[in-house]
Amino acid sequence: MRRWGEALVVAFLIVTFVVTTVGIEGRSMEPSLRDGERALVPRYETWAVRLGAHVWRSGDVVYFRAPGDTPRNLLERVLGGPFVIKRIVAVGGQTVALEHGRLLVDGEPSDHVVGDAPFGSFTMAATPVPADHLYVLGDNRTPLASRDSRAFGAVPTDDVAGRAAWVIWPPLRPTPDGGWALNVRRVPRLRRARRRVPVGRRCPSATALAAAV
């Protein structure tokens, strides 16, 4: 019994302070993250942010509690879910706009581009991002593919639970020619803005299931 207790304590410390994983549900982050994959989350980064030694930056893929969402079951109540996973495209103090599908940050075309598809014909007036907040979008820009800051607004930095760094599962994926290819890969961190995010203070829950909706 003592060995089991020690193992549980060690496991808890690892997923809380070192590394954990997050599951991907849905297609809102394609092609960067696919439905059914699992990503590695370096928890030490989250703690470094809380301690002021690191910051969340534009281009990071992060998971967080969507504003207004409520837990759907007991597990989510315990772990702090539900969570979603999106890409940061702007930070506090910047402005975001969409002009006929083109993403503009501070009035300039954004380099946060995955593939060539625009955001359809969507247009949104320049929207300021409040201090201590992040503006997040899904990489899948087809109509209705992603519920993100266009729907629920900017996300408080304190609500970010971690950054998806590597896809680790499944290790292989099928190819169009009927073969298999290595699926383990780094999650792309698309950079544009150099502005840093002010440090939050709260500590998020240890693990969560991210629903990319």
CA angle in degrees (0–180, nearest 5) for 43-48-54: 120
| pLDDT mean over 64-79 | 57
Res 210: pLDDT: 46
Confidence at 109, pLDDT banded by 50, 70, 90: confident
Nearest CA to 139 among 157, 158, 116?
116
SS3 63: strand
**Euclidean distance between the first and the last CA atom of the chain, given in angstroms as a whole number:** 41
* pLDDT (0 to 100) of residue 131: 94
Per-residue pLDDT, averaged over 174-202, amounts to 72
User: Domain residue spans in the chain?
Assistant: 18-211
pLDDT mean over 105-126? 73
Q: What is the pLDDT of residues 5-23, one digit of tens each?
A: 766 666 666 666 668 888 9
pLDDT for the residue 34: 92
pLDDT of residue 9: 67
Q: Are strands 83-91 and 124-128 parallel, antiparallel or unpaired?
A: unpaired
Report the top-level CATH class of 18-211. Answer: mainly beta
